[in-house]
Structure 1
Amino acid sequence: MTVAVHVSGDAKAAVDELVPGLVASLVASRLTAGDDDLWGEDARAEAAVRLGWVEAVSVSRPLVAEIVALRDDLAARGVSRVVLAGMGGSSLAPEVIANTEGARLTVLDSTAPAQVLDAIDDDLRDTVLVVSSKSGSTIETDSQRRAFEAAFTDLGIDPTERIVVVTDPGSPLDASAREAGYRVFNADPNVGGRYSALTAFGLVPAGLAGVDIAELLDEAEASMLQFAVDAADNPALRLAAAITGTAPRRDKLGLITDGTHIEGLPDWIEQLIAESTGKGGTGILPVVLLPVSPELESRPADLRIVRLVDDADEFHLTERHPGEILVSGTLGAQFLLWEYATAIAGHLLGINPFDQPDVESAKTAARGLLDARPEQVAPAFVQDGIEVRASDAALTESGTIEGVMDALWARLEADGYVSVQAYVDRGTMSQLQGLREMVAADSGRPTTFGWGPRFLHSTGQYHKGGPAQGVFLQILERTDVDLEIPGRPFTFGQLIEAQAAGDAAVLAEHGRPVVSLTITDAADDVLALFEAAQ
């Protein structure tokens, strides 16, 4: 067995109740055959062009030799550093693959100017940039490509020799890249970005970084029969039932890595499940946890724990984690397991797991702010160099950051959650991720953490289309560091500011409370945020 899924408690009860019906309805084999009727009539048109991932292993095999040949050619020319410009699934899957295999891959999925500059300044002479976008219209990826093109040109390096494009066939990016002379890899157009781990979007950057991508496909292929068969021990059926079918349903899913060799898989699972299920006022909210996170101590009733381990059988026998879902498997198998389970969860929830109806709203709002360039709203107050703004004046009445956070937590319902969203340079403010643990302890509720604008392409769909349970804490920064975007009338600094403001505006329109804390150069210590959260 390449994959193991162990359940107990109410998760086992859900499996026992739901899996026989899934087996009788031939859900696994119908999904494997590309049956677009599994999610109802309204979803058929979308599902018909989004099920290519079930054939990703066979479709992607011919790419392996091409990717390896390009890697060898680049190495012969002294190119050893791979930078990936991509958002959402286009960057998260390659990041997991590279980190798990210890390969050198710089993932650029941010518009923070300092972070873009850092990626550009780290010795371009031995760098290849992979630009990954299904359409090429993604503003972050397009802006990053423009910046690298200019930087290569300034060094006398022909960009067509150092930029590789991954996109759908016939997309605007496909046409423009080929016309310009770039090397282009086409992905299967019948695969959505969040299901694209085993397509060109996952394989090209990971393969160029030195990963044995043939072995990754072998791992996935070895597990395919497990997921395709209509049987009670199908791990994908069991996992889908366990995460959707408990009574009452636990709609928060805590994801923990515990001793597994796979690095960063919960972040990829988070974007897959949140964007696939968070719509129509329902969904499953993934919460990436540490083995010592406060939620494991408090155990909220609406939080289901999934523990990713190297050997689920061994963990199961120790009975150290009653009531949890234990999952193990190779990386290739895990990608397929979660894709199958997420699609089947959509079937059980009665939603279309392949669309993202609320993602565009934040993009539209950001574009509007870039076009209009309104004056920034003055902060309600400033404390220790941190500017405080909120969607509702009542949230800032206390005049202190501590009071604002208490007021925000007071808006939480019994089934609520907190979303911390950091639109900052991750290189200089990586310690902010520790804020998640303190907020979870202080608020007493499950807390997600997202780097902006990356999360807009993943959990952003859930925040606006899922249940109206969330309260939102934005962390922004204001510095003198900025970078022009060639051919655009705005800078990276203006872009990330518009993205944060646009998303806050859309959340507020949906009735979600939002507090924005902007760290300025006058801030003495970012750790003041931690103190305020206590």
Structure 2
Amino acid sequence: MIHLSNTYQKFSQNYSNLFEKDNLDLFFQKVLVERNSQLSGYYDLPFKDNQEIFDYLKRNAEFLDSINNVIVVGIGGSSLGTKAIDALLSHQNNRKKIKLRFLEHTDPIMIQKDLRRIKYEDTLFIVISKSGLTIETTSLFKYILARFSLLKSDRKHHLAVITDLDSPLHKWCLQEQIQNITISPNIGGRFSVLSAVGLLPLAILGYDIQAILQGAKQISDNFFIKRKDNILKKALFLTKNETIYPINVLFSYSSVFRDFNAWYVQLWGESLGKFDTYQQKRGLTPIALIGSIDQHSFLQLIMQGPANKTVTFLSVENLSQKPLYIPDISLQGLESTDFVNQTSFNRLLKLQCISTKESIMSQNVPVDSIILDTLNEQSVGALVFYYELLTSCVGILLQIDTYNQPGVEFGKKILREKFTHS
């Protein structure tokens, strides 16, 4: 389902003492302590029954069968994960013909564009905010409430809210009798896609959310029960070489990974760029690329630029059930390209990935690989939880709080002051 290469195998020989059993056991215990402390509730999400979601689907079955649009009002962790999973799975036959849109910015041009031709009659608006106090989300929420008169008694079923239990937004929903689903306050936004934040819209679109969680559970069991150490070793290598290789490149081989790449950048950047317990600035900078497109752009910098990057190749063994082939056509003057004739595009992309990987390794760039057998709910759930768990492991080694974002709060404070004093 999901295959991981021996992490930075060529380079690990220089750090063999790092991967000794005692070292790995000590590191594993630290992760176990963090999970059991409930510092973050995402660790438990693969094992939740999600009854609230299924109750909502059953209660609103007739209405949900009538809609053509789902509009998610939310920003960052409230939208990126859902967008990523839908992009990865939208080729599947069980994906309903419902348009999924996101209101996640305060650009008035884009707001008007995104809501053009939207009628409330065939639309469900899902508002996602942990507290309801995020300025972008609440401002957009107020706008759709006014534009579509969603607080009228006969329109309230066009609105659903996902928020923290007992948050100000949750209390408002109870007061206004708005349907809502709550999540635990200890589940941060960027770690929330396997909660109702992602699962409710994905279930409405027709995806098998139980299979998504099953994939996540497999990664969790491999780590915590079977004690497979590939994630531990990768985290150890990255943090040991934090100053040598401060940039981590995710090279994803298919355009369907574009939104997943954006989710990865937020997860990695917002989680790991922090002051540590000694008030030292720590972090690993994420870069996300798409193959083969970025072979013609950023690859040059990796090959001959500063040797300060590690690269993870993400690919799918079988991207399409129906192969597409390059025709056996020879064009005058272009005969040098004929060597790929009659090859499937899937094989071409796969060999481009392998060739790029080998060329990068020839320049002594640390490389590892993640290969999915195919794109389905289970493999995507596994991929998401793999990256969440890897992020937590790196955060523990960096001695930071992986789950807060104090740097972001500075900007919010300044914005409020500008409005208060203007």
Tell me which interval the TM-score lies in, with the shorter structure as reference length: 0.7 to 0.9
CA separation of 1:158 and 1:253: change in aligned 2, threshold 3 A: farther
Does 1:89 find its partner at 2:73?
Answer: no
**Cα offset for 1:346?**
1.2
Residue of structure 2 equivalent to 1:303? 309
**Cα offset for 1:332?**
0.5
Task: Kindly provide the amino acid, as one letter, of the partner of residue 301 in structure 1.
Answer: A
How high is the sequence identity, in percent, across the aligned residues? 24
Figure out how many residues of one structure are paired with residues of the other and give that number. Answer: 358
Kept in 2, the 8 Å contact 1:5–1:239? The answer is: no
TM score, norm. by length of structure 2: 0.76
Does 1:358 find its partner at 2:353?
Answer: no
Deviations 1:146-197 (A, max 9, x none): 1111122189784421110000110000000121111100112221111112
**Cα offset for 1:369?**
2.2
Residue of structure 2 equivalent to 1:200? 196
Residue of structure 1 equivalent to 2:4? 4
Task: Kindly provide the amino acid, as one letter, of the partner of residue 398 in structure 2.
Answer: L
Does 1:121 find its partner at 2:116?
Answer: yes
Distance of 1:180 and 1:15 partners within structure 2: 59
Residue of structure 2 equivalent to 1:74? 63
Deviations 1:440-468 (A, max 9, x none): xxxxxxxxxxxxxxxxxxxxxxxxxxxxx
Task: Kindly provide the amino acid, as one letter, of the partner of residue 40 in structure 2.
Answer: L
Residue of structure 1 equivalent to 2:388? 339
Distance of 2:307 and 2:137 partners within structure 1: 40
Distance of 2:57 and 2:151 partners within structure 1: 27
* Unaligned stretches of 5+ residues in structure 2: 276-280, 319-349, 373-378
Deviations 1:426-450 (A, max 9, x none): xxxxxxxxxxxxxxxxxxxxxxxxx
Root-mean-square deviation (CA, aligned residues, Å) is: 2.9
Distance of 1:197 and 1:14 partners within structure 2: 37
Kept in 2, the 8 Å contact 1:257–1:290? The answer is: yes
Distance of 1:331 and 1:199 partners within structure 2: 15
Does 1:235 find its partner at 2:230?
Answer: yes
| Correspondence for 1:274 among 269, 273, 287 | 269
Distance of 2:46 and 2:6 partners within structure 1: 26
Task: Kindly provide the amino acid, as one letter, of the partner of residue 298 in structure 2.
Answer: E
CA separation of 1:132 and 1:122: change in aligned 2, threshold 3 A: same
**Cα offset for 1:10?**
6.0
Distance of 1:28 and 1:339 partners within structure 2: 16
Task: Kindly provide the amino acid, as one letter, of the partner of residue 283 in structure 2.
Answer: G
Partner secondary structure for residue 264 of structure 1: helix
Kept in 1, the 8 Å contact 2:72–2:128? The answer is: yes
Does 1:110 find its partner at 2:99?
Answer: no
CA separation of 1:139 and 1:297: change in aligned 2, threshold 3 A: same
**Cα offset for 1:285?**
1.0
Task: Kindly provide the amino acid, as one letter, of the partner of residue 90 in structure 1.
Answer: S
**Cα offset for 1:82?**
0.5
Deviations 1:349-377 (A, max 9, x none): 2222122121111111112223334xxxx
**Cα offset for 1:24?**
2.0
TM score, norm. by length of structure 1: 0.61
* Unaligned stretches of 5+ residues in structure 1: 37-47, 374-534
Kept in 2, the 8 Å contact 1:11–1:245? The answer is: no
Does 1:65 find its partner at 2:39?
Answer: no
Residue of structure 1 equivalent to 2:369? 326
CA separation of 1:245 and 1:154: change in aligned 2, threshold 3 A: closer
Kept in 2, the 8 Å contact 1:149–1:159? The answer is: no
Task: Kindly provide the amino acid, as one letter, of the partner of residue 85 in structure 1.
Answer: V
